[in-house]
Every structure is written in C-alpha cells, then in structure tokens.
Amino acid sequence: MRIGIVDIDTSHPENWIPILRDMGHDVVGVFDGGGVHPDSYVREFAAKFDLKRYDDPVSLARDVNCGILHGCDWDKHVSMAKIFMQADKAVLVDKPMAGCWRDLQILAGWIHQGARITGGSLLYYCGEVRQFLSSDPREAGTLHTVLAGCAVDDFNYGVHAYALACGALGGGLTSVQFLGQNVQKQIRLEWFDGKAAILVIGQAGAWLPFHATLIAEKTVKSFVVDNTKIYHSFLKAVMPYLAGKSSSPPTDFNVLMEVEQAALAAKCSQEQQGRRVDIAELPSLNVRHDGVEFARSYRESKYPSP
C-alpha cells in the first residue's frame, strides 16, 4: 500500500515507518497539524524519512491507500478518520482510538457500512500472550485470570494494560470497578463467563515496563513484555486486513473497542467512589477522557513554557 502518516506527535511514527517499509509498503507522505511539535521538527522528520509533506489531510488521503493516525489528541481521531473513510481509504487509528462512547460508536458504524478501520494498543497482539494462547489447552487448561499493569498515566499509556487483559481474555467484558489506590490504581475487569483481570496502572515512582501474569487452570505464566517486538507483532496483525489481503479484521471492532470502554468505565467507577460500572451503562453516562487536555500536557512536557 501507499501509506500516509497523520500527526507525528509520539515516538510511534518513527518506529513504525521502517517496519512498514520492510513489510513492502510505501510510506509516502505526512500531514502534521502542529498539535505537539514545532514546524522545524516536522520538516526534519519528513526529510529524514523521505516523505512528501502535505498541507492538509484531504490531499494526503487522495494520494494514498491507507492513513495512519498518530495524533495524541484522540478527540480528533474521528474527524481525521472520516477524511480517509470518505475517500474510500483504509484507516489505522493509533491508541487510544477514542476517548468517549460516541466516538467509538461512530467508528463502529462506519465499519458496519464497509469502511476498513482498525487500530488500538500494540499490546492487544502482544507476542507473549499470543504464544500462551496458542499452547496446548490440555496442558494449560482454561485461562481465567489476568494480572497486568504499566505506569505513566491512566489512559494514553494505561490503555496498554487494558489491552493486555482484553487481548488475553477475549470479548465479553461486562463490568469494571475501581478498587482503590496505594501508589498506583487498581482496577477489576469482569467478563460474562466469570473471567477476570486486575490491572495496576497510573503514575508510579518511575517508568515501569508492561507486565502480566496469566493464570490458567493448570499453569501460571508471568512475563515482562519484550518492547523490541511489539511494533512488529501489531503491524503484522493489522496490515493484511488494511491492505485488503484479508476480508476479516484481526479482531472484530465491537470486541476491540472493549479496551477503551473498560478505561471509560474505570474512570466513571473512580468518580463514583468505586461503584461497579456495567459496560452496558456507558451510553447513558457522561464520561470521557479528554484528548485536548492530554495533548496540551504532552506538548508541555516536551516543550516547557519559559
């Protein structure tokens, strides 16, 4: 495919482009809305990766087969995805895909109408989890509980812990409960069939790696995720679908978006003193993770005001 990059806010674009090119794709252009980096950074980035720089996303969408949205203001993802969707182009939405129920439903509706859209956290396709799930079930038994975590923040980075759990336990998440906080926050996720996950997320005393413990009927597996492999594992999972080589997405979007839904329910539960929040309640709850505010703080962390 000919691929266009939208917004180079995070470290993901520079890490993904070489992998995409090694996979045989042609990453040809970039549009950046200036939400995080100054113009000089974007100019140097385009030169470094031999990309044509576009002044608007509409022109970029005309020239490519797929747009990859990397903006850290997730509240803009739907409007950017719409540009590519209306041009009949595929869209890969980097994590978090959206910060509210309404935006998730808009993306799901477009997919139902035939749009080719997927994305989310790299950790949904974590190699260590996939290897465990592919093991002989007669030896491991049924996976029933996941303990997972990471640090930094509740959503932009915390979404990876939700993805670790949801990628391991599959679809069918029913409720989320904020359990409390010592150093980090503890969140309980429960599935319709009794499976459960406990997440430890949020700010810590230092950066912590992605980590998980998978508990099955006959075995327990603990690991720290190998960060050198997660980009490749993710792109290997999603790109065949986006390129039209697979008619089905690697994960149904209604299942995939349970990751962001879980984070929304956790926020609501915390705000309501730890009440268990059912996923089915989300359409009626006014809960969102604020992408505009996160992007502002993210820019400030990189370019502090004098």
Average pLDDT over residues 173-178: 98
Q: Could you report the per-residue pLDDT of 237-281, keeping only the tens digit for each? A: 999 999 999 999 999 999 999 999 999 999 999 999 999 999 999
Global model pTM greater than 0.95: yes
Local structure of residue 165 (DSSP, 8 states): H
* Distance, CA of 287 to chain centre: 18
pLDDT of residue 136: 84
Whether residues 8 and 108 share a domain: the answer is yes
Edge-to-edge strands, sheet with 220-224: 220-224, 211-216, 143-149, 196-201, 185-191, 173-181, 277-278
Full domain range(s) for residue 89: 2-122+230-247
Angstrom distance (rounded) from CA 4 to CA 65? 8
| Distance set, CA 72 to CA 58, 160, 269 (Å) | 20, 14, 24
Whether residues 71 and 141 share a domain: the answer is no
Q: Is the pLDDT of residue 69 over 90?
A: yes
Pairing verdict, β 220-224 and 211-216: antiparallel
Whether residues 91 and 49 share a domain: the answer is yes
Whether residues 21 and 77 share a domain: the answer is yes
Average pLDDT over residues 141-169: 97
Q: Could you report the per-residue pLDDT of 135-148, keeping only the tens digit for each? A: 888 889 999 999 99
Pairing verdict, β 52-53 and 26-31: parallel
Give me the chain's average pLDDT, please: 97
Q: Could you report the per-residue pLDDT of 37-65, keeping only the tens digit for each? A: 999 999 999 999 999 999 999 999 999 99
Q: What sections of the chain are H helices per DSSP? A: 12-22, 39-48, 57-63, 77-86, 101-112, 127-133, 137-140, 159-169, 230-242, 253-256, 258-271, 291-302
Q: What is the CATH number of the domain that holds 196?
A: 3.30.360.10
Whether residues 69 and 26 share a domain: the answer is yes
Whether residues 159 and 33 share a domain: the answer is no
Q: Which two tokens stand for residue 142?
A: 């049924």
3-class DSSP assignment, residue 277: strand
Average pLDDT over residues 111-116: 97
Number of domains in the chain: 2
Whether residues 163 and 56 share a domain: the answer is no
The answer to whether position 57 is within a domain reads yes
Whether residues 169 and 279 share a domain: the answer is yes
Whether residues 137 and 284 share a domain: the answer is yes
The answer to whether position 306 is within a domain reads no
Whether residues 128 and 199 share a domain: the answer is yes
Q: CB under 8 Å to 99, separation ≥6 — which residues?
A: 74, 75, 155, 260, 264, 288, 289, 290, 291
| Distance set, CA 78 to CA 82, 83, 102, 107, 109 (Å) | 6, 9, 10, 7, 12
3-class DSSP assignment, residue 124: helix
The answer to whether position 205 is within a domain reads yes
Whether residues 213 and 238 share a domain: the answer is no
pLDDT of residue 278: 98
The answer to whether position 253 is within a domain reads no
The answer to whether position 299 is within a domain reads no
pLDDT of residue 11: 96
The answer to whether position 165 is within a domain reads yes
The answer to whether position 298 is within a domain reads no
pLDDT of residue 138: 85
Whether residues 81 and 133 share a domain: the answer is no
Q: Which two tokens stand for residue 132?
A: 């465990």
